[in-house]
Amino acid sequence: GAVVSQHPSWVICKSGTSVKIECRSLDFQATTMFWYRQFPKQSLMLMATSNEGSKATYEQGVEKDKFLINHASLTLSTLTVTSAHPEDSSFYICSAGWTSANNEQFFGPGTRLTVL
C-alpha cells in the first residue's frame, strides 16, 4: 500500500509555543489530506480536510486560526498548532487519499504532542 509519513513522531513543548507537524505521502500524489486528533481511549476525530492548493475545510468546533493547515503540494501537508496549551495534548494523525469515494485513506503513524 501507499506510504504516509509524519514528522515528528513525538514532540514536547511549553505552553504558548507553536508546533508544526508534517505529513508526507512518500510514493504517491495525494489530492486530499486529512487531519485527525485522538485522545486516549477515544476514537479518531476528523479535524479538517485539505486539498492541494486550496483552503482547508474545518470540522465544526475546530478553530481554524489555532490549527493552521497548509497543503502546498500533492505530497506535503502541514498542521501547525498555534499557542499550544495542555488541553491540545493529543495524538495527531494525518491521512492521504484521492477524491474518489471508494478509495481508501492511507494513514500516517501519528504524532504525539505533549504540551507542558
Partner 1 sequence: LAKTTQPISMDSYEGQEVNITCSHNNIATNDYITWYQQFPSQGPRFIIQGYKTKVTNEVASLFIPADRKSSTLSLPRVSLSDTAVYYCLVGDNRKLIWGLGTSLAVNP
Q: Is residue 61 a contact point for partner 1 (CB under 8 A)?
A: no
Q: Is residue 49 a contact point for partner 1 (CB under 8 A)?
A: yes
Give the CA dihedral 42, 43, 49, 50, nearest 10 degrees.
Answer: 70
Sole window of 13-21, 65-73, 81-89, 104-112 interacting with partner 1 (rule: CB under 8 A): 104-112
Q: Which of 37, 56, 95, 113 binds partner 1 (CB under 8 A)?
A: 95
Q: Is residue 89 a contact point for partner 1 (CB under 8 A)?
A: no
C-alpha span between 1 and 17 (Å, rounded): 36
C-alpha span between 22 and 106 (Å, rounded): 15
Q: Is residue 109 a contact point for partner 1 (CB under 8 A)?
A: yes
Q: How far is the CB of 16 from partner 1 (least distance, A)?
A: 26
Q: Which of 42, 73, 83, 114 binds partner 1 (CB under 8 A)?
A: 42
The one-letter code for the residue type at 96 is A
Q: Is residue 76 a contact point for partner 1 (CB under 8 A)?
A: no
Nearer to partner 1, 82 or 105 (CB): 105
